[in-house]
Copies of this chain bind each other. A is one copy, B any other.
Amino acid sequence: MRRDVFQAIADPTRRAIIALIAIQAMTPNALADKFDITRQAVSKHLRILSECELVRQESKGREIYYSLEIEKMKEIDEWLSRYRTIWETRMIQLDDLLATMKKEKEDN
């Protein structure tokens, strides 16, 4: 099954998981305690996050610690950068407009 970063962050629970494991690595049980769902449900989310390489896992005895693969988040940033250019350009244009209006007012 081919997974997508955008699909991965679409679910609010998965975004919450991302927020938690960005701070520190956590086990599925520890995560399940935070959200009112079963450990198995968390595991499913982690599997989806794994499939699109948003998550790294490290076994420690019988426990598995999951942490965020921050590099992968850049992919979203790259996609967004195109639109960031647009709104920044608009902002500059707005600044220019305001400056022009101010100048015209002063000239009167």
Interface residues of A (CB under 8 A from B): 4, 6-7, 9-10, 12, 15, 19, 22, 68, 70-71, 73-74, 76-77, 79-80, 82-84, 86-87, 90
Copies per complex? 2
Tell me, rounded to whole Å, the shortest Cβ–Cβ distance linking A55 to chain B.
Answer: 13
Q: Given A22-B86, A76-B76, A77-B84, 13 more contacts at CB 8 Å?
A: A4-B12, A6-B6, A6-B10, A6-B12, A7-B10, A9-B10, A22-B83, A68-B83, A70-B83, A70-B90, A71-B87, A73-B84, A76-B80
| CB–CB A83/B87 < 8 A | no
Q: List 14 A-B contacts (CB under 8 A).
A: A6-B9, A6-B12, A6-B15, A10-B10, A22-B82, A22-B83, A70-B83, A70-B86, A70-B87, A71-B87, A73-B80, A73-B84, A77-B80, A77-B84
